[in-house]
Amino acid sequence: MLKNKGITLIALVVTIVVLLILAGVSITAVFGENGIISGAQKAKEKTDESIKQEQEDVGKLVNQLEEFEREGLPDTVKEAIQKGTIFTVNKQIKDESGKTMTVPKGFKVKEGTTIDEGVVIADSEGNEFVWVPCTVDEYKKHEYNNTENDAGKRVQDKSESGAADAGWNTWYYRAYSDWKDDVDEKANKESVKNNGGFYIARYEAGVPKEASFYVEASAEGVKSKGYQTSKNDISGDVKPVSKKGVQAWNLISQINAKEVSGRMYSGDTYGVRSQLVDGTAWDTAVTWISKEYPGIEKDSTKYGNYASSKGENQITEDNCLFAGHLYKYDKKNSNASIGWCLGKSYQYGSFTSGYTDNWTDADGDASSKYNEYDNDTNTYKYRHFVEMATGASDNTKLKNIYDMAGNMYEYTTEYGYHGGTSNGERYAVRRGGCFNVYGSEYPISMRGGEAFATSASSPNTGFRVALYVK
């Protein structure tokens, strides 16, 4: 009996030793230097290296293919226009003077012999943009002093950095220190640095045909449901257009203008990013324009649709597309303004020879009250203003860009809280003047930062799209 127990104990010890040996072997096999886990880790590292190498090889191949494509594309502005080539990749080309620009994928060069003149590109649907050349150092926001008047928060000052003769108009802007530009400034600067400029829409944003408020017009007259007031509806996939002779997209908020501007070009079909024009792009474009038109930053009367355009600007086209609006005042009661009486439709006609449109407001038909005289104050109760369709007059063209001065105030991506408002309201910046103000007071450089909410809309306020090459 004792002999059997001894054998059993020896067997147990032997079994444990064998198990320990097997465990050691297993642990070594799993965790050792050449074990399963180590092997798996090495295999993963090799796989990662292979994937990285494959990606690099694919990238090199793509670059080689793109370079091959570039070699087959036009090298000059003149050649690109003559051939009508739609660029399949982004490519830098030269004008007659040797200056360069980048034509993005999906666009063709439409017109403009030199970059200084303003070279126009167009996509397959006819949307047009103008190249604004600049270095990354030239691509900058205009500088303003932060000053306050006796009232504390609002100033009207044309001075730049304290220089009284600088002439950049900064209505209600400089006293506020909380302005922000809601845009990817780093990405924009990188694009400008790599490509030598950016694109700005040739026309103010126009209403697309897909929109429920689109107004179709022809040389025979308006074929539409009339002037529409529902332009803040951006449901669906409506996108602005940049085309000549289209109903301007006003009555939209800055918030919605930013949204639809970003929709215009997304994905990989085109070699650009689209956005609402930012403050830096506007200032850079104005600086570029003013080099050829000195003084325009101080007085843009002769170059835009302003309240005085009929007399001073000589917009004489006989077949302009426009809408006439009335602005109603109550001069007998504290000189208060009441609001807009919108024209019933867009129409073709002479800009300088009267208007056949009718107007309606809460009081009914306002056409009979047009220019009604107030004998007590010796003023008109209504004033008549004209909103022009996009690019309706060549007299508003600067560097191949239409209506940056006058016609519509135009939003930028800038906003501010004006030092903190009790209700948290955000206020939008608007640029360039509009059809119911004067070009001497609201020139192309004008920056309005008054209390106009980012959610508000107006018939005298529209927007413009900017493009940055990817």
Question: At residue 165, does pLDDT exceed 60?
Answer: no
Question: At residue 356, does pLDDT exceed 50?
Answer: no
pLDDT, one tens digit per residue, over 60-91 is 555 555 665 778 899 999 999 999 999 999 99
- What does the pLDDT read at residue 361? 44
């332009």: which residue's tokens?
231
Instruction: Judge residue 14's burial from the number of C-beta atoms within 10 Å of its C-beta, 0-12 exposed, 13-18 middle, 19 or more buried.
Output: exposed
Rounded to 10 deg, the angle between the 185-195 and 279-292 helix axes is: 40
Question: At residue 3, does pLDDT exceed 80?
Answer: no
Give the C-alpha separation, 25 to 58, whole Å.
Answer: 43
- What does the pLDDT read at residue 153? 43
pLDDT, one tens digit per residue, over 365-402 is 444 554 555 556 555 566 778 888 999 888 899 999 99
């067997």: which residue's tokens?
11
pLDDT, one tens digit per residue, over 393-446 is 888 999 999 999 999 999 999 998 876 566 678 899 999 999 988 888 889 998
Count Cβ neighbours within 10 Å for each residue of 66-84 and write b for 16 or more, e otherwise: eeeebeebbeebbebbeee
Q: What is the mean pLDDT of residues 449-456?
A: 85
Give the C-alpha separation, 396 to 402, whole Å.
Answer: 5
Quote the pTM value: 0.80
- What does the pLDDT read at residue 376? 60
- What does the pLDDT read at residue 9? 75
Task: State phi, psi for 275 to the nearest 5 degrees.
Answer: -160, 165
Q: What is the mean pLDDT of residues 173-179?
A: 66
Instruction: Measure the CA angle with vertex 327, ends 325 and 332; round to 5°.
Output: 155
Structure-model confidence comparison of residues 424 and 3, the more confident one:
424
Question: At residue 95, does pLDDT exceed 90?
Answer: yes
Instruction: Judge residue 423's burial from the number of C-beta atoms within 10 Å of its C-beta, 0-12 exposed, 13-18 middle, 19 or more buried.
Output: exposed
Query: In which band, very low, low, confident or very high, does the pLDDT at 150 lie, cut at 50, 70 and 90?
Result: very low
Give the C-alpha separation, 172 to 157, whole Å.
Answer: 8
Question: At residue 20, does pLDDT exceed 90?
Answer: no
Question: Domain residue spans in the chain?
Answer: 2-71, 123-470
Enumerate residues 6+ apart whose C-beta is below 8 A from 345: 215, 222, 224, 226, 227, 323, 357
Task: State phi, psi for 85 to the nearest 5 degrees.
Answer: -70, 130
Question: At residue 2, does pLDDT exceed 60?
Answer: no
Q: Over the chain, what is the mean pLDDT?
A: 79
- What does the pLDDT read at residue 363? 44
- What does the pLDDT read at residue 277? 98
User: Among residues of the chain, what percentage have pLDDT more than 90?
Assistant: 43
Two tokens at 371? 């220019």
- What does the pLDDT read at residue 229? 81
Yes or no: say if 381 and 433 are a contact pair by the CB < 8 Å rule.
Answer: no
- What does the pLDDT read at residue 215? 77
User: Among residues of the chain, what percentage have pLDDT more than 70?
Assistant: 67
- What does the pLDDT read at residue 125? 96
- What does the pLDDT read at residue 178? 74
Q: Widest CA span of the chain, in angstroms?
A: 136
Q: What is the mean pLDDT of residues 254-276?
A: 96
Question: At residue 231, does pLDDT exceed 90?
Answer: yes
